[in-house]
Amino acid sequence: MNQCLESYRVLDLTEGGCMLCGRALADLGADVIKVEPLGGSPSRSIPPFLHNVVHAERSLFFFAYNANKRSITLNIESADGQELLKSLVKSVDFLLESFPAGYMDKLGLSYEVLRQINPRIIVVSITPFGQTGPKVDYRMSELTNLASSGALYLTGDPDRPPVWLGQLNHSELGAAQEACVGALVASWHRESTGEGQHVDVSIQACTLELLQTPPESFDLTGHVFTRVGGKWIIGGRGIGRETVFPCKDGYVSFTVFGGGITESRSSKAIVNWMAEDGMAPEWLQQLDWPNDYDASKVTQETVDRVEAVFARFLLTKAKAELFERSFREGVILAPVTSTKDIREHPQLEARDFWQQVEHPELDGAIIHYPGPFLKLSETPMTVRRRPPLIGEHNEEVYLNELGLSASELAALRTAEII
């Protein structure tokens, strides 16, 4: 079965959420070799762990971003390890890394050095602030990533300090996606010129790019967006409307609209349903939605009064019931899906999104992995290989592909080079 990038070879030295870049290239068919230190990637210590057993080869975080990859171990801080990496570079198309800026230079493995070995090499570097600038040497956590981009300032309730977006590496994952795009764009350039290049990815810049409207709004109008919690500020008058309501078994995303025929339809449909259940007060049934609830006229007091009635009604219904009727009647409402909901989502099931991958090394455990982010008709993407064990492919790569002898490999192991 042909795949888009099956002729390409990648060395992946990234960690954390940055590993998604290599995973995406691997899903597209590239031969991605995860280069790990001798004890295994530090990312193998990131929870959660399969069946809550803490072990370097049971990290579900590591599993998620390393399926479809092979693994070798290599001490790149040793002179022999650096020479081995240079030997591997001769036959690869991409090298991905997320070390602090300048680290590869200090090891004698800078882009300028590697391009002398392989002029077609594309080196992708993912760092907090990029390879240049006054903050080039600053370190980051997910919290400071979000803060440096302005995203943290916009997150949370207006009367409380900013809050971050849970425990996922959102900023690193976003930068990894951009890094993958950058690698492929550089590859397209290489096809016509034969030139490789250095792709310098700043996590700060990638996260800032996702904000879009707030920076543009300030630039054009001087308006500074602030935290609004779960509300939607509509009409430029500071009137806040709820966007998420609790229901019987969770939450739904819904906003009470008015001001026009289309905008009012959803609200009127829910009011009619309330009336069927005897939960719609007379004043609400008589509300002139196009006029009385127009964003340019309605007061916060009216909004709060109306939303209180909607909130009481929605609490009596389950997510599925609300969504099914809303869909039939053209109401703009959607369930807020939990992890369990997503795993059982009929749309994803219908598209064969979840991929079953057997782990023989874990007593034959079968783990469901998120499937392809694209469906390609002629070059389909699949999870064709479980995540690798630490150094699982050392012999395959060093002996069969790099051409070392068994005695040389044994000596490298003894010297703790691999």
First to last CA, the chain: 33
Residues linked to residue 233 through DSSP beta bridges, in sequence order = 240
Higher pLDDT, 257 or 105: 105
Q: Which residues contact 249 (CB under 8 A, 6 or more apart)?
A: 318, 319
For 334: left if phi > 0, alpha if psi spans -120 to 50, otherwise beta; the answer is beta
Maximum distance among all Cα pairs of the chain, rounded to whole angstroms:
88
What pLDDT is recorded for position 379? 93
pLDDT at 55 over 90: yes
Contact 29, 4 (CB under 8 A): yes
pLDDT at 235 over 70: no
| Tokens read off for 318 | 């389950």
Q: Which residues contact 391 (CB under 8 A, 6 or more apart)?
A: 36, 38, 40, 71, 72, 73, 418
pLDDT at 408 over 80: yes
Place of tokens 């904000």: 211
pLDDT at 299 over 80: yes
Q: What is the mean pLDDT of residues 88-111?
A: 98
Closest Cα partner for 96 from 39, 149, 172?
Answer: 172
Q: What is the pLDDT of residues 322-372, one digit of tens each?
A: 999 999 999 999 999 998 999 999 999 999 999 999 998 888 889 999 988
Higher pLDDT, 245 or 339: 245
Contact 336, 252 (CB under 8 A): yes
Closest Cα partner for 202 from 417, 18, 11?
Answer: 18
The DSSP bridge pattern shows strands 94-97 and 69-73 to be unpaired
What pLDDT is recorded for position 269? 94
Q: What is the pLDDT of residues 66-75, one digit of tens each?
A: 999 999 999 9
Closest Cα partner for 310 from 275, 265, 263?
Answer: 275
289 secondary structure, DSSP code: H
User: What strands, in cross-sheet order, belong to the sheet with 9-13?
Assistant: 69-73, 31-36, 9-13, 94-97, 122-127, 197-202
pLDDT at 289 over 70: yes
pLDDT at 234 over 80: no
Residues of the chain with CATH 3.30.1540: 231-336
Contact 36, 412 (CB under 8 A): no
Split at pLDDT 50, 70, 90, the class of 81 is very high
Per-chain mean pLDDT for the chain: 93
CATH of region 9-210+346-414: 3.40.50.10540
| Listed range (73-77, 126-130, 179-183, 225-229) with the worst mean pLDDT | 225-229
395 secondary structure, DSSP code: I
What pLDDT is recorded for position 233? 79
Split at pLDDT 50, 70, 90, the class of 157 is confident
What pLDDT is recorded for position 236? 64
Sign of the CA dihedral running 228, 233, 236, 238 = negative
Split at pLDDT 50, 70, 90, the class of 296 is confident
Residues of the chain with CATH 3.40.50.10540: 9-210+346-414
Cα 191 to Cα 195: distance, rounded to the nearest angstrom: 8
Cα 109 to Cα 97: distance, rounded to the nearest angstrom: 11
| Listed range (76-90, 226-240, 370-384) with the worst mean pLDDT | 226-240
pLDDT at 305 over 90: yes
What pLDDT is recorded for position 306? 96
Nearest 10 degrees: Cα torsion 305, 307, 311, 317: 130
Q: Which residues contact 29 (CB under 8 A, 6 or more apart)?
A: 2, 3, 4, 5, 6, 8, 379, 381
The DSSP bridge pattern shows strands 250-254 and 9-13 to be unpaired
Query: How many residues are present in the chain?
Result: 418
- Percent of the chain's residues with pLDDT above 90: 74
Q: What is the pLDDT of residues 15-40, one digit of tens each?
A: 999 999 999 999 999 999 999 999 99
Q: What is the pLDDT of residues 160-209, one digit of tens each?
A: 888 877 667 889 999 999 999 999 999 999 999 999 999 999 999 999 88
Quote the crossing angle between the two packed helices 170-193 and 20-27, to the nearest 10°.
50
For 396: left if phi > 0, alpha if psi spans -120 to 50, otherwise beta; the answer is alpha
Choosing among 3.30.450, 3.30.1540, 1.20.120, 3.40.50, the CATH entry for 231-336 is 3.30.1540
Degrees (nearest 5) of the Cα angle 330, 253, 260?
45
Split at pLDDT 50, 70, 90, the class of 146 is confident
Closest Cα partner for 279 from 301, 249, 255, 312?
Answer: 312
What pLDDT is recorded for position 303? 93
